Amino acid sequence: MTEHPQPSAHARELVRGAYDVHIHVAPDVMRRRIDDVTLAERFADVGMAGFVLKSHYVPTAERAEVVRRARTGATALGAITLNAAVGGMNPIAVEIAGRGGARFVWLPTVDSANQRQCQAAEPEGATPPMWAKLQAELRAEGMAADPVDVLDADGEVREVTRQVLRLVAKHGMVLATGHLHSDEIARVVDAAAEEGVERVVVTHPEFTSQRVEAERQRRLAARGALLERCLTTPYTGKVSWDVWLGNIREVGPEHSVISSDLGQPFNPPVEDGLAIAADRLLAGGFTDDEVRLMTVHNSRWLVGAEPLAGAPARGVA
C-alpha cells in the first residue's frame, strides 16, 4: 500500500484538538514510520492535541515525558500493555507505570489467551499486523511465554486482574481491553466498574481476534465503555468499511472514539489518520458534529484533557 488518501481541509479542521489514543511509533522493537518527537511536531502543525504511545512490549511513560519536555506543542501520553514482556498481569508493573505518569493500561494483546487461540485466518488481502512476525520469531527461539489470562478456569475475573483494576482506578488511568475475547471483555468491563475504574475503552472491537457483535457492543456501551474504532482495521482489509461504519451507527457515535492505530511503514502518515477517518465517516453519512464528537470530544474525555466548546457532559452521552 503506497498511495494513501489525502485528508480534506474540512476533515483537518474537524479533528483539530483531538488526541489519537492508539499509535505505534519509534523507538520500538520493530520498524516504524516516524519517531515520537517528530510526530509531536507534526501533530502540532496540523492542530491536533496529542497522542497515546502504545507498545505491545515496553512501557512508554518515560518516553512520553521526554517528548513533552521537547515542547513541540502536542502532548504525548504514556501507557503500559500487560503482555509477557512486562510480566503479564503484573500489578507491580502497573503500579510503577502509574507512578511514572502512564495514562493507559492495555490488557493483554499479543499474549492474550484469545489472541493465541484465535484460529480465524486473516481475510484475503488483509495486511497482517507487524507484531505477528516478532511473535513467530520468539516462538521459534524457544521464548513463547504462557498466555496471559484475565479470567480463571471457572470464567471468573482473577484476583490479580482485580488488583490491576484497583491500581488503574487508584491512579486515574484508562483501562483498554486489548485483544481479549468478547466474553472476557464483558466480564472485565463489569469488574472494572466494581473496582472503581472511571474510563474504559473496548479496543478495536472489529479486529480479527475480537469481532464483537453489534448487540454486545451496545451492552458494553450501556455499561459505560467507549468503543474504539481504529482506522487501520478496515484500512488494511481486516474488516469491511461497511461493517465498521455500520457498527458505529448501531451503537451510536456518542459511544465511539476514533483512533488510528497507525505507525506502520506501509500505512498512511500518523498525523493524517484521524482526518482520513473523518472523511470516511462524512462519506458514510455522519454529520460534522458526530465526527467531532467521536474524534475530538470523546478522545479528550478519555485522556482527561480539558473539554472544548461543544463537548457534551463528560464527553459521552
CATH number for the domain spanning 195: value is: 3.20.20.140
Which three-class secondary structure state does DSSP give residue 291? Answer: helix
* pLDDT tens digits, 50-61: 999 999 999 999
Q: What is the mean pLDDT of residues 137-150?
A: 91
Q: What is the mean pLDDT of residues 244-258?
A: 98
Which three-class secondary structure state does DSSP give residue 69? Answer: helix
* pLDDT tens digits, 9-58: 999 999 999 999 999 999 999 999 999 999 999 999 999 999 999 999 99
Residues comprising the chain, all counted: 317
User: Residue 107 sits in which domain range?
Assistant: 9-302
Angle at 31 between CA 112 and CA 275, to 5 degrees: 85
* pLDDT tens digits, 134-143: 888 998 999 9
This prediction's pTM: 0.95
Write the burial class of residue 159 (CB in 10 Å: 0-12 exposed, 13-18 middle, 19+ buried): exposed
Residue 261 and residue 234 in contact, taking contact as beta carbons nearer than 8 Å: no
- Residue 136 belongs to some domain of the structure: yes
Q: What is the mean pLDDT of residues 301-317?
A: 85
DSSP 8-state class, residue 33: S
Confidence of residue 1 (pLDDT cuts 50, 70, 90): very low
Residue 119 has pLDDT above 60, yes or no: no
- Residue 280 belongs to some domain of the structure: yes
Which phi and psi angles does 300 have, rounded to 5°? -70, -40
- Residue 315 belongs to some domain of the structure: no
- Residue 4 belongs to some domain of the structure: no
Confidence of residue 238 (pLDDT cuts 50, 70, 90): very high
- The 8 Å CB, 24+ separation contacts for 285-290 are 286/248, 286/253, 288/14, 290/253
- Residue 252 belongs to some domain of the structure: yes
**DSSP notation for 125-158:** TPPPPTHHHHHHHHHHTT--PPPB-SB-TTSPBP
- Residue 114 belongs to some domain of the structure: yes
- Residue 265 belongs to some domain of the structure: yes
Q: How confident is the prediction for the chain on average, in pLDDT? A: 95
Pick from 69, 63, 23: nearest CA to 43: 23
How many Cβ atoms sit within 10 Å of the Cβ of residue 265?
10
Confidence of residue 317 (pLDDT cuts 50, 70, 90): very low
Count how many domains the chain has.
1
Measured CA to CA in angstroms, residue 213 lies from 119, 128, 256 at distances of 18, 22, 15
**Which region holds residue 308: left if phi is over 0, alpha if psi is between -120 and 50, else beta?**
beta
Query: What is the C-alpha to C-alpha distance for residues 292 and 99, in angstroms, rounded to an integer?
Result: 32
**Among 105-119, 242-256, 279-293, 303-317, the least confident range:** 303-317
Say if residue 312 is preceded by a cis peptide, omega within 30 of 0: no
pLDDT on residue 144: 83
- Residue 308 belongs to some domain of the structure: no
Q: What is the mean pLDDT of residues 87-96?
A: 98
